[in-house]
A = this chain, B = another copy of it.
């Protein structure tokens, strides 16, 4: 169903290039549609959002977009009115060079917080846009690479829905605990989708994918996920489309968690048997965010007591330890721990440790007999995270 191979989406062009914002890696990229697109977006809940988030929300108000322009290496956050003006100016430059309206451009910036964009460099970078945009797979891949910051690899996924093609691109490796939004992620499709369905669909999808990952509990000021539908392929089955979009969003969200700064392992955690949806999610977040759980998994240390601790620090809900079960692995191979076990020799510690050495780990916590469950993704915490972040800015 889901294909990692790049397929171009009819009617879309991309570019990704270096304009020298900080160094000589790709730092400027864009998406352009031949025709205006129905569009929807969800953005960070951080109360100090970046300037491009403010401008992007404004431009999305009428549900139409035709282009996306992104720079990495600088987030354009905490830059005041000047930052907002810079972001508007970039949209104007893109519009002028591509022959569209500035309000049809969604801007994004990602990188260091608190510095003004080098506008001279960006003005220069915009001057050749008409030649930069192209419709090949290489152009799409260059775009995916140009939005990376500490990511170690581009994140791109394509699929067919009926006659239409859907492509998703994402970036993100640190400052990741999206909340009602996500890191930078863009979906493009030539499906024809009703405008009024697009926004609620994207919100539902983001909520079960990007909003269920955490790398380091920090919520970025720039989180943005946007979908552009140019309609060229005609209508598609909406349920089928949402199913594929959700599958793709989960794939990209997992890719982000797997590529977390310094991470060596992807953790998939299911909390079930909860008495409310809130209990399931709070408990899942408490565990996936616990540095003691994350370091134990890094060291393949079967220290399941740390799960008990993390479950117990969800103060609003009590759990009966007698009901608590922890499963490592999947299917018939999974290993079970009863938290209140009498004979400690029964605990398969050596087997759990072996399982924790894999690079993808599934854990399920059963809290009791309640009907609610949640699934979240995260990663281990390693020396690599420290190294990457102790010396990042300057």
**Chain A residues close to B by CB (< 8 Å):** 45-49, 75, 77-80, 82, 112-116, 174-175, 179, 216-221, 289-292, 295-296, 298-299, 301-306, 308-315, 317-319, 321-322, 339-340, 342, 344, 349, 353, 381-383, 385-387, 389-394
Instruction: Judge whether B393 and A312 touch: CB under 8 Å.
Output: no
Shortest Cβ gap from A173 to chain B (Å): 12
Instruction: Judge whether B393 and A220 touch: CB under 8 Å.
Output: no
Identical chains bound together, number: 2
CB contacts (< 8 Å) of A392 on chain B: these are 296, 299, 301, 303
Known contacts A114-B339, A115-B344, A383-B383: does B218 contact A309 (CB below 8 Å)? yes
9 example contacts (A-B, Cβ-Cβ < 8 A) are as follows: A78-B340, A80-B342, A112-B303, A112-B305, A113-B305, A114-B344, A291-B291, A301-B392, A385-B386
Measured between alpha carbons, how far is A305 from B110 in the docked complex, in Å?
Answer: 12
Given contacts A114-B304, A217-B291, A220-B309, 14 further A-B pairs with CB under 8 A are A47-B314, A49-B312, A113-B305, A113-B308, A114-B344, A218-B290, A218-B291, A218-B313, A219-B309, A298-B386, A298-B390, A299-B389, A303-B392, A383-B386
Measured between alpha carbons, how far is A296 from B387 in the docked complex, in Å?
Answer: 10
Instruction: Judge whether A393 and B303 touch: CB under 8 Å.
Output: yes
CB contacts (< 8 Å) of A217 on chain B: these are 217, 289-291
* CB < 8 Å neighbour of A386 from B78, B219, B382, B391: B382
Shortest Cβ gap from A183 to chain B (Å): 13
* CB < 8 Å neighbour of A383 from B216, B308, B353, B387: B387
CB contacts (< 8 Å) of A291 on chain B: these are 216-218, 291, 385, 389
Which residue of chain B is the closest to A299 with respect to CB atoms? B390
Which residue of chain B is the closest to A46 with respect to CB atoms? B312
Shortest Cβ gap from A21 to chain B (Å): 15
Top-3 shortest CB links A-B: A113-B305, A299-B390, A48-B312
Q: Which of A220, A309, A339, A383 has the most CB of B within 10 A?
A: A309
* CB < 8 Å neighbour of A48 from B179, B295, B319: B319
Which residue of chain B is the closest to A309 with respect to CB atoms? B221
Shortest Cβ gap from A313 to chain B (Å): 4
